[in-house]
Amino acid sequence: MDGGVAMSDHLERLLRTTVADLAAESQPRDLMPQVRARARRIRLVHRTGYLAAALTVVLLLVVPYLAVSRNHGLTPPITNFPTPSLRPSPTATPSVPVAPAPTSLNAPVALLPGWVVTAATPGRSAADPASPPRSWVLDRRTRGYVPVPYPTAVLAPSGFLVAVTGPDGSGLGVLDLRTRKVSWPLDKTVGNPQWSPDGSRLLVTLDDKATGAHGFAVVDPVSGAVDPHMVDRDKYRCNDNCEFS
């Protein structure tokens, strides 16, 4: 209402000004045609103004709607992500094949898949703790196990030689299962005797507690030759039970 009243007052002033200007001219004339023409022009100008104002209002209302509608036309973001399961799906535990317990020591004890036990060291007898320790080794001639009175016994990959240590764990001996004779190439404390793949050499770890010497030796089981190799502890420190292989 305030806008309409202000606009009417403005038109009235323009109309009065137009009539006054025409009346001030020197020659009398019919004023009505000019007044009507001026009024039509005034109305046309203000109609144009109304139309522009209305169009502006429409644009202000429509453009945001179009912008919002255009944004709403986009693919909405995915908010309902699936929650990962913190508990893994249960899987079947693979079964490990277990070799049956041997019923007799008169035949090789087979291990899956296709391996056989060549030596075992059960230690001292529980019934007689004072008895000397003994081991069992496979005699390839009889295809059975024979006892040997040594705490360590390692059968060669082929043949009938067995690497053994003394009853107190010292020294390295080579036992021939065919003759049951033992030779002792080393009288020092040794550990972890290992055969070469062809059974022609032995590797043992040397560890002298008295002198602190530490290293390894390569032994010829037939001739008894020993080739020691000592390790510089200051250069190569070993704070644990280090063994060579």
The residues facing 226 across adjacent strands are 219
- pLDDT on residue 197: 93
In the predicted model, what is the mean pLDDT of residues 154-165? 91
Percent of the chain predicted with pLDDT > 70:
47
**Whole-angstrom distance, CA of residue 33 vs CA of residue 200:** 138
Q: How confident is the model at residue 205 (pLDDT cuts 50, 70, 90)?
A: confident
Question: What's the pTM value of the predicted model, to 2 decimals?
Answer: 0.54
Q: How many CB atoms lie within 10 A of CB 186?
A: 21
> Per-residue pLDDT for 58 more than 50?
no
pLDDT by residue (tens digit) across 98-109? 545 566 677 777
> Per-residue pLDDT for 173 more than 80?
yes
What distances in angstroms separate CA 44 from CA 16, 33, 41, 66, one per listed residue?
18, 16, 5, 31
Residue 66, both tokens: 């179009």
Q: Which domains does the chain have, with CATH numbers?
A: 110-123+132-230 (2.120.10.30)
In the predicted model, what is the mean pLDDT of residues 157-171? 87
Long-range pairs, 26-29, Cβ under 8 A, ≥24: none
> What's the gap between Cα 199 and its chain centre?
42
Give the contacts of 15 (CB within 8 A, at least 6 positions apart).
35, 38, 39, 42
